[in-house]
A = this chain, B = another copy of it.
Amino acid sequence: MDEWERIEYKPIPVRTLLVEMKNISELMIDLAYSSALFNSHELAEDVLELEKRVDTLALLLKMNIMIAARDARDAEDLLGVSLVSSSADKISDAAADIAYIVLRGIGIHPAVREAFERVEERLGRFEVKRGSILVDRRLRELRLASRIGVDIIAIRRGRDWIIDPKGEDKILEGDVLIARGAPSGIEELRGLSAGTLRRLED
């Protein structure tokens, strides 16, 4: 938690940074709610790690905006980007507030539970074990959305995160999948990741 990355300017397109910040901050809200609902310290730690990433992206974005703006016209154009970036930062802070509730062992009041509960959808976080049929498969081939009604919304790979992974992204052994979907599909994904469920029906 205390290793601070040295921030160094890298030329990254402003749009890439902004899209990633926005996607991560929204993912964090979902993760934070689920961490509170299921009292999951793992999810709460994920949220705090993502918050650090959002902070880093925010600084990189600031630097890239400075360099991209050559005149008043550019500065006006980029003002919106800068405001959206602060907004994603606030959302990410809000998610971290909720993660702290979990990590500091503050009890989840029934009112909080009610606010966070979503009947239709659940979130799951599963490590892909050796021998799971998911290993080395691309999301495209697995077609989890149509088969079990589940979307992989993020993959945590060691210290890296793939947010909103695409069809060509491959699942590796040891990945942690963050998925959203119908409760039955989430249970299937739990079995598939653990390797206890060996078939994916059409």
Contact = CB atoms under 8 A, between A and B. Distances in A.
| Best-buried of A83, A93, A98, A108 by chain B (most CB within 10 Å) | A83
B109 A81 contact: yes
A94 interface: yes
B84 A101 contact: yes
A88 interface: yes
Contact of A76 (B77, B94, B106): B106
A114 B15 contact: yes
A18 B111 contact: yes
Interface residues of A, number: 41
A18 B87 contact: no
Interface string A76-107: 11111101101110110111011011000011
A115 interface: yes
A162 interface: no
Interface of A: 13-15, 18-19, 21-22, 26, 29, 32, 36, 76-81, 83-84, 86-88, 90-91, 93-95, 97-98, 100-101, 106-112, 114-116
Cβ-closest 4 pairs across A and B: A15-B111, A90-B94, A87-B94, A87-B97
Contact of A107 (B77, B97, B109, B110): B77
A106 B83 contact: yes
